[in-house]
Amino acid sequence: MNKTTAAITGIFAWAPDNVVTNFDLEKVMDTNDEWITTRTGIKERRWMVEPGSATSDIGVEAVNGLMKKTGLKPEEIELLICCTATPDMAFPATANIITDKIGAKNAAGYDISAACSGFLFGVTTGAKFIEAGMYKKVVIVGADKMTSILDIEDRATSIIFGDGGGAVLLEPNHDGLGVIDSIMHSDGAGRHFLHQKAGGSAKPASIETVTNKEHYVYQEGKTVFKFAVTNMANTAAEIMERNHLVADDIAWLVPHQANKRIIDATRERMGLDEAKTMVNIQRYGNTTNGTIPLCLHEWESQLKKGDNIIWAAFGGGFTWGALYLKWAYDPK
Ligand code: UT7
C-alpha cells in the first residue's frame, strides 16, 4: 500500500449576513473608500452583530455545512481542531464548545493559536494524525469573530478585519493526494507589532485595561506589512523549490487575505497569473483564521483532482508558512 497522506475530502465556509461597506465606515470614522481600496483591496466585510454570538457559532455553521455536504456524522469525528485568535473564552477550548454544540461526542478537541497562520498550522497538525494512522476523520475549523476584539473607532484596524470561517474534513488517502508538504515558521520578537495588550495572564482584565481599550487588536501596520510581504513570498517560493514546482505546475495559490498588495507580491514572486490566485478580500476583509477556508469554499467548484495548490499565510506572533497539497476530488 502507498504511503498514507491526509486529503481534504470536503470543505464548507460561512460568514454572517451583515455586510459593512467602506461607505458605511466613512459615515462613522475619518476614512474613505478610496484609501481603503487602494491600501488594502477591501470593499466590504461581514460583521457578526447578533447579541451573544461567538466564534464557536461560526465553527458550528461551518461544520454543520460540512457534515451536510459530505454525509459525515457528528459521532464519526475523531478529532476537531479549532484554529482561532478569538476563542469564545480563555478556556475551555472553542473546539470543545463546537463539539458539544454539534453533538460530536467521540471527538477530542483543542484549539490552535497561531493568528492568521492558524488554519495552515492546524491542517498541518491534523494531517500528521492521519499520516501516523491515529485518526481517520479529522475536522479542522478556522474561524474568527474579529469584531469581538476590534475597536470599531480605530480606523487603523477596524477597516481591515471581518468575521467568518470554515471547516475541512481530512481523511486518509493512498493515491498520493492531499497534503504533500508544509513549512511553518514563528518569530516571537514580532509580538510587539501585532497583539492584544490585555486580558491574558501578563495583564489580566481590570477596569483600567478596559478604560484604556487594551482588549482590542493593536497593530503597527507598516512594520507588519514589511515582514508579511517578505516572509509570505519567501516561504511560498521555498515550498515550490523544494518540491521542484514551477509556476506552470501550480493550479492555484490560496493566500491569506490580509492585504491585496501582500497577495500580489506573493503571487509575483511565484510567477503566477492573477487568474490562478484566489482573492476574495474585497468582500470579506481579513477574517484571520477564516480566510483560507473561505477561499477554498468559494473556488471548490473549479478545483480538480490532482490540482497542485499552494497556501501561504502570515500573521501575528509572528507566524508564517506555506503548504503544498494535491486536491483530492473533482467538482461534484
Ligand atoms: O493578517 C495579519 C497580518 N497583518 C497584515 O498583514 C497587515 C499588514 N499591514 C497593512 O496591510 C497596512 O500597513 C495597513 C493597511 C494596515 C495600513 O496601510 P499603510 O499603507 O501601511 O498605511 P499607514 O499605516 O502607513 O498610514 C498611511 C497614512 C497615515 O497618514 P499620514 O501619517 O501619512 O498623514 C495614516 O494616518 O494613512 C492614514 N490612515 C488612514 N487614512 C484613511 C491610516 N488608516 C487610515 C484609514 N483611512 N483607515
pLDDT at 1: 63
Q: List phi, psi (to 5°) of 142.
A: -120, 115
Q: Is 221 in the pocket of ligand 1 (CB under 6 A)?
A: yes
Q: Which three cell numbers stand for residue 177?
A: 493526494
Q: Is the pLDDT of residue 261 over 90?
A: yes
Which ligand 1 atom is nearest residue 258's CA? 1
Among this protein's residues, is 286 annotated catalytic?
yes
Per-residue pLDDT tens digits for 98-140: 999 999 999 999 999 999 999 999 999 999 999 999 999 999 9
45-55 average pLDDT score: 97
The neighbour count for residue 188, using CB atoms within 10 Å, is 9
Q: State in Å: Cα 221 to ligand 1 middle.
A: 6
Q: Is the CB of 37 under 6 A from ligand 1?
A: no
The residue contributing the CA closest to ligand 1 atom 21 is 222
Phi and psi, residue 20, nearest 5° = -115, 115
**From 286, 289, 295, 297, active-site residue:** 286
Which is it for the CA torsion 241, 309, 259, 293, positive or negative?
negative
Q: For residues 217 and 270, what is the distance between their CA atoms, to the nearest angstrom? A: 31
Domains, the chain = 5-179 (3.40.47.10), 180-326 (3.40.47.10)
pTM value is 0.97
Active-site annotation holder among 256, 289, 295, 297: 256
